[in-house]
A and B are shown apart, each in its own frame.
Chain A
Amino acid sequence: RDQVQVAGSSTVLPYAKIVAEQFGETFNKFKTPVVESGGSGAGIKEFCKGVGENTIDIANASRPIKKDEIKSCQDAGVKEIQEVKIGYDGIVFATDAKGPDWALVPADIYKALAAKIVVDGKLVDNPNTKWNQVNAKLPAWDIAAYIPGEKHGTREVFETKLLDAGCDKAALKAAGVTDEKEIGKTCIAIRKDGKAIDIDGDYTETLARIDSNKTGVGVFGLAFYENNADKLKVATVSGITPSTETIAKGEYPVSRPLFFYVKKAHLGVVPGLKEYVDFFLTDQMIGPDSPLAEYGLVSAPEAERKGQREAFDAGKTM
């Protein structure tokens, strides 16, 4: 095999594509790597099939690899896995470009989208139907939120960083939910009456839905929003406007790291693999002025990028 093979997350795919393409153009002696889409899970599954020519070299993931997965990797002989963090993905709320400005706080989102909320000390099915019932400053739009579906890694971030954060646990306790676990569950349970709409597809689908429903609110990746800024207006969360800078500084609360995993046994064996990873990690690719950043990747801080490069060169495995 004379070609690097990559599989995994469709969130990482556009970045990997840009790098692969430039890699192919820059290093004439290597073929352009093949980057499959298909989801982090499927990617890691292929990654963990074993070592050898007909297994992939790199798995892209929009979430860290799980313990169970590492274990099955090892059971199949994939002992040494190198983890590379390429940067962050910002998760933003956006509405149609022609609408009013939005300023959200996690509590608004919780009150608008949770399955049950506490009203007058009692836990009841979410009665809110308009945004201004949640927060008087918001417009009087029917609640229609397009949120990532359960298959997306983004969903987890959405639940922990917004719903859970916006959930008034004390009120819940007061309303009679005492069990910690039960509280956790209630906090992240999303209403199922059609006001919160799961999107299992990509952000293009969410955009199309906003296009056809001008009073809808969608969850997007920062990169996607920036590419479609003429059609979308972004909402602030807790007063912070999402941007690569605010996320990199840690001011904007909702983001997640993106990774890829390299099979160390293939390094130096599959032509171009090492060069590809090295190329990926250069500032030319993932630095603040790089094409990836331009596309919407939130670059990791300088020190973190340096750390990633050093760790990879040192052959640090998980």
Chain B
Amino acid sequence: MSSMLVLAIVVAIGIGAFIIARQRAAAQDDGKVKPHSRAHYHGWWAFLLATLPAALFLALWVIGSSVYLNSHLHAQMPAQTGVASEPLAVSLTKSLANGLRKLDPQQVASLPATFAELRPSLAAKGVALATDTQDYMISIAAAANKVQDTLGLVGAVATVALSLAGAAYGISQVMPRARARNNVERLMLWGLLGASTIAILTTIGIVLSMLFQTLNFFHRVPLSNFFFGTVWDPRFAAAGAVGSEGQFGLIPLLAGTLYIAFVALLVAVPIGLMSAVYMAEYASPRVRAAVKPSLELLAGIPTIVYGIFALVTLGPFLRDLSAALAGGTSFIQAQSILTAGLVMGVMLIPVVSSLSDDIITAVPRAMRDGSLGLGATRSETIKRVILPAALPGIVGAILLTASRAIGETMIVVLAAGVAANLTLNPFEAMTTITVKIVNQLTGDLEFNSPQTLVAFALGITLFALTLVMNIVALYIVRKYREQYE
């Protein structure tokens, strides 16, 4: 909390610096020398000088002092910690120290010697502590709190001093020819750069949050079993029970993922593309304005609704239809790749159509004129000139669609089921990687068994898969983009 206060002080100093610097700059403008930057840029520069280094220092100081405290606590731990491990003892002490902060000052002044005595007063303040917190930790925790207070105070003073120094420097920098605008803009640029790295940080975060469990999984299940296994049968994690060691073959899931995505694309791409062509090339602006958002609504319907539709309506319909066609025995199962692909395809129509529509409209008019001027009909122009020219963009759109298809869970669960088969028959059930990620994570399985951990391995595999797909997409787009223009 106190670092928040310090931060507030720093900001206040910054505001002061802003006002002073701006006034100074305005006063200096006597019309003789043309000032380089406008007054408020000087103000902002002073503000930034007063706040940024100080805030940065504060952040480092806070991190540094917690690292220091940690090692300090480690050093203080007796050889016999009395609990399972030393790190646990340290963390117990830390929570104890945090708890002590909730107590009144006089209570802190007269801390009881044993944890048993201390616990009720802490519990009264709503502090939950592990029962095997040891007595010796009380004194260590109290001392640690003192150290922390001192560190905090030093840090606060230093931060404020730094801030004041920055403000003073910033104000002293105010001169007609000083390039305050350039300085401020350079910092803004850093800010923008920072924002754009969030994508990378997210990726790193995703990989890191799955990596340890993935490694743990591969510790127990050999790589080859996972990547080349053709049977997915993880079994329920009944430790010691017969047949508890399952098989974790990726192949059936991968095949299912690709197969279902393929069928979905088979539905979404022709329909979406033709809709886009019609909207871009034939439809009047009024029709287009009505149809485009309507189709986009398809993408907004929660996927569970599609799933239920497949489960309750479409699946049985296809089954009965096939029964009627084949005279008795149905060759389409109620839950099948076909059903899932169909429904998912419908959901993805707007993704294809909206993106392709934009891309087709972006094909230069000169291409269209060139073809029409030779006496080609509209459709000939579209088929032979516009679509080939728009191909890279369309490929990109299709890949994005494929990514969405790969990532979809609910529809697959309800329409194609969860059985990991390996089949070529589109009328049978199959399942996908994403489905298994969700199910293995949310089941009744033991949480640190391979059965659950495999979800993380699947997650990373899928992540790598889509990454490769996107690199390929980028490559294709680049390669073809160079061709026209």
Query: Would you call A212 and B315 a contact (CB within 8 A)?
Result: yes
Q: Is the CB of B123 within 8 A of A212?
A: no
Q: A79 to B130, Cβ gap below 8 A? A: yes
The DSSP consensus for interface residues of chain B is loop
**What is the number of contacts between chain A and chain B, taking CB atoms within 8 Å?**
166
Q: Whole-angstrom distance between the alpha carbons of A74 and B83 in the complex?
A: 10
User: If A153-B236, A201-B414 touch, does A51 touch B128 (CB 8 Å cutoff)?
Assistant: yes
Q: Which residues of B contact A152 (CB under 8 A)?
A: 236, 443-444
Contact A212 B444 (CB under 8 A): no
A42 touches B312 (CB 8 A): no
B5-13, B84-92, B192-200, B259-267 - the one binding chain A: B84-92
Q: Does B35 contact A (CB under 8 A)?
A: no
Q: Using a CB-CB cutoff of 8 Å, which residues 170-194 of chain A contact chain B?
A: 181, 184-185, 187-189, 192, 194
Q: Cα distance A302–B22 when bound, in Å?
A: 81
Q: Which residue of B lies closest to A196 (CB)?
A: B419
Interface residues of A in 59-105 (CB under 8 A from B): 61-63, 66-69, 72, 74-80
**Among A156, A184, A205, contact of B414 (Cβ-Cβ < 8 Å):** A205
A68 to chain B: closest residue by CB: B448
With both beta carbons as reference points, the residue of chain A lying nearest to B419 in the complex is identified as A198
With a cutoff of 8 Å between Cβ atoms, the chain B residues found around residue A201 in the complex are 413-414
Interface flags, B434-450, vs A, CB<8A=1, else 0 = 01000111111111110
Among A44, A50, A77, A194, the residue within 8 A (CB) of B333 is A194
Q: How far is the CB of A307 from chain B (nearest CB, A)?
A: 23
Question: Do the beta carbons of B130 and A194 come within 8 Å of each other?
Answer: no
B88 touches A192 (CB 8 A): no
Q: B336's closest neighbor in chain A, by CB?
A: A194
> Across the interface, which residues of A come within 8 angstroms of B84, CB to CB?
74-75, 77
The 0/1 profile, CB within 8 Å of B marked 1, for residues 258-278 of chain A is: 000000111011110000000
The residue on A at minimum CB distance from B421 is A192
Contacts of A38 in B (CB 8 A): 442
- Counting chain A CB atoms within 10 Å of each CB, the highest count among B88, B128, B439, B441 belongs to B128
Q: How far is the CB of B184 from chain A (nearest CB, A)?
A: 40
Residues of A within 8 A of B414 (CB): 201, 205
Whole-angstrom CA separation of A192 from B429 in the bound complex:
10
Q: Which residues of A contact B335 (CB under 8 A)?
A: 197, 209
Contact code string A227-248 (vs B, CB < 8 Å = 1, else 0): 0000000000000000000000
Q: Does A53 contact B (CB under 8 A)?
A: yes
List of A residues within 8 angstroms of B92 by Cβ? 77
Given the complex, which residues of A lie within 8 Å of B441, measured CB to CB? Answer: 39, 41-42
Tell me the minimal C-beta distance from A283 to chain B in angstroms.
27
**Beta-carbon contact of A41 and B236 below 8 Å:** no
Question: Which residues of A lie under 8 Å from residue B290 when comparing CB positions?
Answer: none
Q: Which residues of A contact B131 (CB under 8 A)?
A: 79-80, 264-265
The listed residue (A75, A76, A185, A213) touching B334 by CB distance below 8 A is: A213
Among A150, A192, A209, A269, chain B packs the most CB atoms within 10 A around the CB of A150
Q: Which residues of A contact B239 (CB under 8 A)?
A: 66-68
* Docked CA distance A62–B83 (Å): 30
Q: Decide yes or no whether A122 CB sits under 8 A from chain B.
A: no
Looking at the complex, which one of A42, A78, A197 makes contact with B447 (CB distance below 8 Å)?
A42
Q: Which of B132, B242, B445 is close to A79, meaning CB atoms less than 8 Å apart? A: B132
Known: A69-B446, A185-B243. A200 touches B439 (CB 8 A): yes
> How many angstroms from the CA of A145 to the CA of B177 in the assembled complex?
84
Q: CB < 8 Å: which of B234, B242, B421, B452 contacts A41?
A: B452
Question: Is residue B481 contacting chain A, with contact meaning CB distance below 8 A?
Answer: no
Q: Which residue of A lies closest to B429 (CB)?
A: A194
B308: chain A residues at CB < 8 Å are 208
* Minimum CB distance partner of A214 in chain B: B316
Of residues A41, A68, A188, which shows the largest number of chain B Cβ atoms within 10 Å of its Cβ?
A: A41
B442, A77: Cβ atoms closer than 8 Å:
no
* Beta-carbon nearest neighbor of B245 in chain A: A185
A208 to B315, CA, bound (A): 11
Q: Is B129 an interface residue (CB 8 A)?
A: yes
Of B123, B418, B451, most A-chain CB atoms within 10 Å:
B418
Write the chain B residue with the least CB distance to A42: B442
**Residue B88 contacts which of A75, A159, A208, A270 (CB distance < 8 angstroms)?**
A75
A162 to B311, CA, bound (A): 28
- CB of B424, distance to nearest CB on chain A (Å): 14
Residue A52 CB within 8 A of the other chain: yes
CB-nearest residue of chain A to B235: A150
- Taking A153-B444, A208-B312, A212-B334 as known contacts, 8 extra A-B pairs with beta carbons closer than 8 A to each other, sorted by chain A number, are A10-B442, A68-B448, A69-B446, A69-B447, A151-B444, A156-B238, A201-B413, A205-B414
